[in-house]
Chain A
Amino acid sequence: MSDERIPILRMGDYLLVSIQVDMHDKLAVRLQEDLTETISRHVSKGVMIDISALDLVDSFVGRMIANISAMARILDAKTVLVGMRPAVAITLVELGLSLPGVSTALNVERGMALLRKQLERGEHADERHAQ
């Protein structure tokens, strides 16, 4: 139980996190630590969090997702949240957690396309800034 971790898969410049078990405090904190660690080690450009297996969320999980996204942004990685179920979306809205600043996509495929697009745009912006 104490060794339980959420696997972080590396795909080139991107990291893929698939949350398939119920989140509890310890697991969430460990995920934040592992993820920030992995991003800085591999200099990852994007993080994709797949929550298609989650059918229950509370304000804690919602806040954790927002936190992870904010941490990744500071480490210069974009975060995309994919596969949210309708019931989860409704619950989050009811809880007043609209997750501003977190990109979302319908599925992993779309999420990957979105990350690529955002990254291209970001590089263009950096070039423009440098000129």
Chain B
Amino acid sequence: MASLSDLISKNQNALIEAWTRELLGNPTKSPGRITDAELRRQTHSLLQLIASALESNDDVASPAWQPTREFLEETSRSRVLQGFDWAEIATFIFSLKKPLFAVVRDACGRDSNELADRTWQASRLVDELGLHTVRTLQKVRDAVINRQQTELLELSTPVVKLWEGVLALPLIGTLDSARTQVVMESLLKAIVDTNSETAILDITGVPTVDTLVAQHLMRTVTAIRLMGADCIISGVRPQIAQTIVHLGIDLTDISTKATLADALSLALKRGGFVVTRRGAS
């Protein structure tokens, strides 16, 4: 009885033909994104890689399968970029089952034990390859999400200089520990760099304030005070004021203002500036 590897090598052309036909006839294949020639080329390369790797062993995680795994990762990645969804990409691998089983059936003839064994081996192999593909997709997606998270974190902490000695930090989105840390660090650094006396934390863009968010705010304010600068919290909406009181959070030591404009005017007053309209009596 020939091994699976021999079977694949011997029937390579027939397999490629059947596999490609399977893929082209598949209703999930969206037309136009990948040419038939390209598909044929991919099935051809992948089958060759599988055949050569099978000669050493059938453990997909082993070093012998390294080129196959890399090829799968590469194809999956390019397909994600082309706009395929996960089901389509996984189908690419799983479509190999039908032609492969057909080859196994032809080779085994009437030996049902042999047939069952070979089929199981082939099935497991294709499943492993499919799983590897899905895992790769997940990794690609996770990497994208992680990168976006970091970008969001950096995007969301712009320290703005409003006036000589007055810095503002408009906070947008929910405050969690990681963000508070970034906010605190960038604000404290900006205070030292610009030698500012007043920092305004604008929470207009913070949707809700719970005890945790309030605690994060207090920590930031305390750190700013320790550095020797003043902190004003602005953009406190009526609902947030109510929530803070209902939660029993004590903000008596912190100056709070309803709008950024009020906070700026307080900061200017503390800095000894007077704003007047020209010509006003």
A residues adjacent to B (C-beta < 8 A)? 81-86, 88-90, 92-93, 98-99, 104-107, 110-111
Contacts and interface: CB of A to CB of B under 8 A. Distances in A.
Interface stretch (B50-58, B226-234, B237-245): B226-234
B70 interface: no
B195 A86 contact: no
A114 to B, nearest CB: 8
B188 A90 contact: yes
Interface in B191-216: 191-192, 195-197
Given A106-B191, A110-B197, A90 B228 contact: no
Contacts, number: 55
Per DSSP, are chain B's interface residues mostly helix, strand or loop, or mixed? helix
Given A86-B185, A90-B188, A99 B226 contact: yes
Interface string B51-77: 000000000000000000000000000
B192 A105 contact: no
A86 B227 contact: yes
A89 B219 CA distance: 10
B182 to A, nearest CB: 11
A86 B190 CA distance: 10
Contact of B195 (A82, A106, A111): A106
B88 to A, nearest CB: 48
Contacts of B224: 89
A81 B228 CA distance: 8
B225 A90 contact: no
Given A81-B228, A84-B226, A107 B188 contact: no
Contacts of A90: 181, 184-185, 188, 223
Contacts of A110: 197, 228
A89 B197 contact: no
B227 A89 contact: yes
Task: Report, nearest first, the 4 A-B pairs whose CB atoms are least far apart.
Answer: A86-B188, A104-B228, A105-B228, A89-B223
8 contacts: A81-B226, A86-B185, A86-B227, A93-B219, A93-B226, A98-B222, A106-B192, A110-B197
Contacts of B189: 86
A84 B227 contact: yes
A51 to B, nearest CB: 10
A84 B228 contact: yes
A103 B192 CA distance: 17
Interface string B156-189: 0000000000000000000000000100110011
A82 B188 contact: no
